[in-house]
Amino acid sequence: MPDPNDTLLEVTDVSKSFRGLRAVASASLTVRRGEIVALIGPNGAGKTTLFNLVAGVMPPDEGRIRFLGQDIAGWRPDQVCAVGIGRTFQVVKPFADMTVLENVMVGGFRGTSDRRVARARAERALRDLDMWSLRDRPASALTLPDRKRLEVARALACEPQLLLLDEVMAGLRPTETDIMVATFRRLNAEQGVTILLIEHVMRAVMALAQRVYVLHHGEIISSGTPQQVTNDPRVLESYLGTGAVH
């Protein structure tokens, strides 16, 4: 049960521009421990940029990013991982010349140089994602849905407190999507993994998210429960264009 007083991630008035183009404009959001929060919005809205700002890929131009009370804006990605945030990439990035198990063990070595610890973490993550039987397969030989699960397993092996999932359902068939949704619900319910996800697949958003933020042209234009947000005329306008809503 999410504790309203236990804020994991607090993004305040964050902005980022690229050569004059404003990708993220004064965006704010919070994620509390144990929640599953979704970030949605039309293409080009700035969702992945916002993720990248939190994950340390680039520093924000303005604003604050606090995790567990610590200011992490401008930190390197590996420092962000060390403090407890794991992330996946929209375009999957497996370590192609390593096996599935080795891939996940890279994550498992976070904060330790003991191989057995890394292996144990990797095993746990792979079992959580029902991939243990694939452990010796080279990552380059995996199908797309399996690669997506590998990304998640690798991030999980870091034992993060917050998991950032970037369009993890993209390209999956409905049955595969349902399996992923079920997995995340289980991780959230049983292990208390907090999740912030970017998603286009509304089916997943509605099934998973307790709260939703909507990003449009870099600005947060709406937030609330999935039901509230999908009925918000501003949100419908942003997806369908003005004039579509009366």
Partner 1 sequence: MNRSVVCLLALLAVLLVLPLALDRYLLAVMILIFYFAFVGQAWNVMMGFCGQLSIGHALYVGLGAYTAAALYQHFGVIPWVGMLVAVAVCVIAASIIGWLAFRFGIGGTYFALLTIAFAEFTRIGFEHFDWVGGTGGFFLKVVQQDRFDLLNLRGHPVMFYYLALALAVGGFLVSAWLLRGRLGYYFRAIRDNEEAARAAGVNVFRYKMYAVQISAAMTAFAGVFFAFYYNNLFPEQIFHISRSIEIIMAPIIGGIGTLFGPVLGAAVLTLVSEGINAALEVGGHEIPGVKQILYGIALGASIMFMPHGIWPGIARRLGFERSQDDEDA
What are the residues binding partner 1 (CB under 8 A)? 55-57, 76-78, 81-82, 86-87, 89, 93-99, 101-102, 105-107, 109-113, 115-116, 118-119, 135-136, 154-155, 158
Output 95 or 239, the one with its CB closest to partner 1: 95
Output 103 or 188, the one with its CB closest to partner 1: 103
Q: Number of helices (H) and strands (E), helices first, in the chain?
A: 9, 10
Question: Min. distance of Cβ 173 from partner 1 in angstroms?
Answer: 25
End-to-end CA distance of the chain: 38
Establish how many alpha carbons lie within 13 A of residue 216's alpha carbon, considering only the half-sphere containing its beta carbon.
12
Distance CA(123)–CA(115), nearest Å, equals: 12
Question: Min. distance of Cβ 186 from partner 1 in angstroms?
Answer: 23
Question: Min. distance of Cβ 112 from partner 1 in angstroms?
Answer: 8
- Give the pair of three-digit tokens for residue 107: 């994550």
What string of H, E and C letters represents the secondary structure of 108-169?
Answer: HCCCCCCHHHHHHHHHHHHHHCCCHHHCCCEHHHCCHHHHHHHHHHHHHHCCCCEEEEECCC
Output 44 or 111, the one with its CB closest to partner 1: 111
Question: Min. distance of Cβ 18 from partner 1 in angstroms?
Answer: 18
Residue 240 burial (CB count, 10 A):
11
Question: Min. distance of Cβ 221 from partner 1 in angstroms?
Answer: 28
Output 154 or 216, the one with its CB closest to partner 1: 154
Backbone angles phi, psi at 19, to 5 degrees: 45, 50
Output 134 or 229, the one with its CB closest to partner 1: 134
